[in-house]
Structure formats: C-alpha cells, structure tokens
Structure 1
Amino acid sequence: MNDDINACRDARVAAIDLVYRTKLGNPEFYGDPEVALVDCLHRKNLVPQNYTIDQYRKESGLYMNDTSEHAFDRFSFDINDSDTLTCMATTAPTLLQPRLEIWKPLG
C-alpha cells in the first residue's frame, strides 16, 4: 500500500502541488522568478506601484552580500508579512533558506 501511495503522490500530487503553488505566486507564469516575485508584491500591494525589478535586484544584491542576521533589512518591503512570505515561497523560495532552522533530530 505504501508503494502505491508513494507512486500516486509522485505521479499526481507533486505535479498538481507545483502548479497550484506556481499559480498562487505567478499567475502570469513569468519565466524569471524575480519578475514573478515583484509582480506578486505589486498584486498584494506590498510595494508601491513604482517599485521596479531593477530596484528589487539592487536590494537582492545587497542582501546576498550581507552576512549579518539583519540581511533581510536590505529589502524595502516587510519581509515578515505573511503575504510577502507567500510571494517568496511561491516564486523565489531560495530567499527563504537563511530563515529556515536546520533540523537536528539527533541533537
């Protein structure tokens, strides 16, 4: 039974989940995840309408070169807002990696 459940999940659920998450954050199906992220931020009114992809790339570059615990302060939008996190998770999940705690099940 477990083999059947796993086969079904791999064949059906994973693809549907990917499309669903993509549709949430990137309904226009932009090929560039950064463009999709900025579009999502605009749609949810998290940034001003004059916020551009170039501004995002500049802020992202500062963030990537910042090793402090306050690196997310490089962005001009609220990184802790649940809508912002949804946009990031559905379009640019690698931005969230520094926020994830490392799971240490054995201590």
Structure 2
Amino acid sequence: MKSRRTGAIIVAFLLSCATVLVLSACASSLDSESGTSSSTAEKSAKSSKKGEGSKLAASIGEYADSILSRGQTSDFQTEILKRTVQEGSMPAGDYENSWSMFKRCMSDKGFPELSYNKTDNGIYDIFVNSEKTPNLTGGLYDNAYSFCILDYFSDVADVYEKQVGNPKLYSVPEEAAVDCLHHMNLVPKNYTLEDFNNEVKGSKGSSFDIKNNAVQECLVPNGIYLLDARK
C-alpha cells in the first residue's frame, strides 16, 4: 500500500514535527521526487482500540467535538467544527472554503502553484511536485505548508473526509475503504478486510480496478493511495 500523506499533506508528518504530537514519526520524510502526498486523512485522532469494527465516535458531530476537545484547533477551523457539532454534519461549502483559505495562505507565502488531485466525491489530495514547486529546499515549503494547513485546513479536512469516505467512523481506514467498496458494489459480497490487506500488500493485482474513479472515492478519503499522485 502506498500512503502519500495528509491530510497531504504528509499532514501527520508535518503535524507531528510542528506541534510535537506523537501522531507519526518524523523519519517518514516527504518524497518530493516521487510525488509524495501531503493529504490529511492519516492525521485523524484514532481510537486506542483499533480492532475490526471499532469506531472513532458515534457520529460525525461527536467526532468533531473530540477534535475540539484537544484544544489545538485554530480559531478559523474551530468555528466550522462547532457548527458541525451543532448540526451533526459538515456542508461541502465549509470544506471548500477551508481549502480556499489554505491555498490563499500558501500563495501568500510564495507557493501559488499547489499540486493536487480531486476525487469525484470532492476530496483534495495534495502532493509535492518538484517541477511545479522548485523552491523546496531550506524547509521553506514545509514551514509554509505546516503553518497554513494547521491554521486553515487540517481539522476541517479530517472531519469532512471521514464524513465522505468513512461515515460509519471505523477506526481502521482499510476497514472503512472495504465498507465503501461494498456499498458501491465494487467488490464481491464475500470480499473481506483480510482480502483487501493481502491484495494491497502483494503484487498480484486486486479484485477492483484501482484506476476506477469510484474506487478512488473509497480509498483517497481514507488515506489509502495505490496510484502515483502525478498521473
């Protein structure tokens, strides 16, 4: 399995380095030459119990509230998450507005050309493209990215991506992806989480077409990347 995050992008990488949180190891550095993503889905606060069937929360509103309870969300994103708690869901408009603010922040810091893909169900997958972003040295991009993502997009993206790609809020992203694949009739009825893990770790192909846009709608929101981001 090729995980490009990250939130994004990687968000878990940048978040851990920027705020000294133990969400991921800083040794997992961004690979600018291979199009490593900076997506945010891997950044989520996961349940301590990660067994099959375990949940992050009982609802999207409750999940958003759990993020707010950490006390680390920016003022801009806090207002969005508070509305999500009150209304029980996050409208696409809030996600898009948060994305626009993130892009504006990056542009203001000298990086107007972001590289990203967008799934058909509206999820942004940011990745590093050294051809479009040549001034990656000296930590300038990482510093700008960390500041902008934490101020405008990381927590909003976390919640919205769960809402879109993992509405049952499974603690294990792969389980959420398999549930989505079943829901969209993209795999056989007897297809299991074990089947999925065996296929993505192996080299014999999979039971589904990874180039299918509908498949990507199940994988990308859950931080699972089986395609080169640049293609």
1:36 and 2:36 correspond: no
Task: Give the counterpart of 1:81 among 199, 206, 212.
Answer: 212
How far has the Cα of 1:8 moved from its partner? 8.9
Name structure 2 gaps, 5 residues minimum: 1-100, 106-146
Report whether the alignment pairs 1:95 with 2:226: yes
Q: What is the aligned counterpart of 1:26 among 150, 166, 171?
A: 166
Partner of residue 109, structure 2: none
Alpha-carbon shift at residue 15 of structure 1 (Å): 2.1
- SS in structure 2 at match of 1:95: coil
How large is the RMSD of aligned CA atoms in angstroms? 2.6
In structure 2, the CA distance between the partners of 1:10 and 1:51, relative to structure 1 (3 Å rule), is: same
Equivalent residue pairs, number: 88
CA contact (8 A) 1:37 1:92 kept: no
Once the 2 structures are TM-superposed, how far is the Cα of residue 11 of structure 1 from its aligned partner? 4.2
**Aligned ranges 1:6-85 → 2 under 5 Å:** 6=105, 10-11=150-151, 13-63=153-203, 74-85=205-216
Quote the Cα distance in structure 2 between the aligned partners of 1:10 and 1:28.
Answer: 25
Segments of structure 1 that go 5 or more residues without pairing to the other structure are 64-72, 103-107
Aligned mates of 1:26, 1:89 — CA distance in 2? 11
Given residue 57 of structure 1, which amino acid in structure 2 is its aligned partner? N
Paired with 1:86 and 1:18, the residues of 2 have a C-alpha distance of 15
CA distance in 2, matches of 1:10, 1:23: 20
Q: Measured at CA, do residues 15 and 92 of structure 1 come closer, stay the same or move farther in structure 2, by a change above 3 Å?
A: closer
SS in 2 for 1:93: coil
Shift of 1:9: 7.0
Distance in 2 separating the partners of 1:27 and 1:21: 9
Name the structure with the higher helix share.
Answer: 1
Q: In the alignment, is the contact (CA less than 8 A) between 2:210 and 2:226 conserved in 1?
A: no
